[in-house]
Amino acid sequence: MTERTLRAEPRPETAGSPPPPHRLVLPIILTCQLMLILDATVMNVALPRIQSELGFTDTGLSWVMTAYSLVFGGLLLLGGRAGDLFGRRRTFVVGAAVFTAASLLGGLAGSAELLIAARVAQGVGAALAGPSTLALITSTFTEAKARVRALALFSAMSSSGFAIGLLLGGLLTEWISWRAALYINVPFGLAIVLLTSRYVADPPRRRARLDLPGAVTGTFGVGSLVFAFTHAASHGWGDTITLGGLAAGLALLAAFLTIETRVSEPLIPLRLFAERDRAAAYVNFFLGPMAMMSMFFFLTQFLQDIAGFAALETGFAFLPMAACMFLLSRLIPKLLPWFGPKPLALTGTALMTGGVVWLTTLTTDSGYFSHLLGPMLLMGVGAGLAFSPLSVIIMATVPTADAGAAGGALQTLQQVGATLGLAILITVFGAVTRTPSGSPAETTVGGMTAAFTVAAAVTAVSFLVALTFRRRA
Cβ contacts of 387 within 8 Å, gap of 6 or more? 155, 158, 159, 284, 285, 288, 348
Fold (topology level) of 22-200+265-466: Growth Hormone; Chain: A; (1.20.1250)
**Averaged pLDDT for residues 78-88:** 76
Top-confidence residue, 318 or 189: 189
Average pLDDT value over all residues in the chain: 80
337-373: pLDDT as tens digits: 787 778 888 898 999 999 999 999 999 888 889 889 9
CA distance 428 to 426: 5
What pLDDT score was predicted for residue 400?
A: 67
Asked if 372 contacts 380 with a C-beta cutoff of 8 angstroms, the reply is: no
Residue among 44, 68, 38 nearest 296 (CA):
44
User: Is 432's pLDDT higher than 90?
Assistant: no
pLDDT of residue 433: 81
The yes-or-no verdict on residue 145 having pLDDT over 80 is no
pLDDT at residue number 103? 92
Within a 10 A sphere around the Cβ of 237, how many other Cβ atoms? 13
The answer on pLDDT for 3 being more than 50 is: no
Length of the chain: 473
- What DSSP string runs through 132-195? HHHHHHHHH--SHHHHHHHHHHHHHHHHHHHHHHHHHHHHHHHHT-TTHHHHTHHHHHHHHHHH
- C-alpha 394/C-alpha 252 separation (Å) is 27
Residue 2 has pLDDT above 60, yes or no: no
The answer to whether residue 101 scores a pLDDT higher than 90 is: yes
- What is the distance between the alpha carbons of residues 459 and 240, in angstroms, rounded to a whole number? 32
Q: Report the pLDDT value the prediction gives residue 6, as an integer from 0 to 100.
A: 36
Q: Is the pTM of this model over 0.85?
A: no
- Using an 8 Å Cβ cutoff, are 408 and 77 in contact? yes
Decide which of 199 and 401 is more confident.
199
Residues 6 or more apart whose Cβ sits within 8 Å of residue 450 = 428, 429, 431, 432
Segment 184-242, tens digit of pLDDT: 889 999 999 888 888 877 666 666 666 778 778 877 887 787 778 767 766 777 788 88
Residue partners of 258: CB distance under 8 A and separation at least 6: none
Q: Which pLDDT belongs to residue 206?
A: 61
Residue 469 and residue 340 in contact, taking contact as beta carbons nearer than 8 Å? yes
Q: What is the pLDDT of residue 7?
A: 40
pLDDT for the residue 10: 42
Q: Which of 56, 46, 122, 135 is nearest to 90 (CA)?
A: 135
> Is the Cα torsion angle 229, 230, 234, 238 positive or negative in sign?
negative
CA dihedral 313, 316, 321, 322 (to 10 degrees): 140
Q: Residues 425, 431, 435, 439: what is their CA dihedral angle, to the nearest 10 degrees?
A: 10
Q: Is 391 exposed, middle or buried (0-12, 13-18, 19+ CB in 10 A)?
A: buried
Nearest-angstrom CA–CA distance, 270 and 260:
8
Compute CA 286 distance to the chain's CA centroid, rounded to the nearest angstrom: 9
The letter for the amino acid at 28 is I
- Summarize pLDDT for 33-65 with one digit per residue, the tens: 888 887 777 877 777 788 878 877 655 677 787
pLDDT of residue 358: 94
| Average pLDDT rounded to a whole number, residues 136-151 | 75
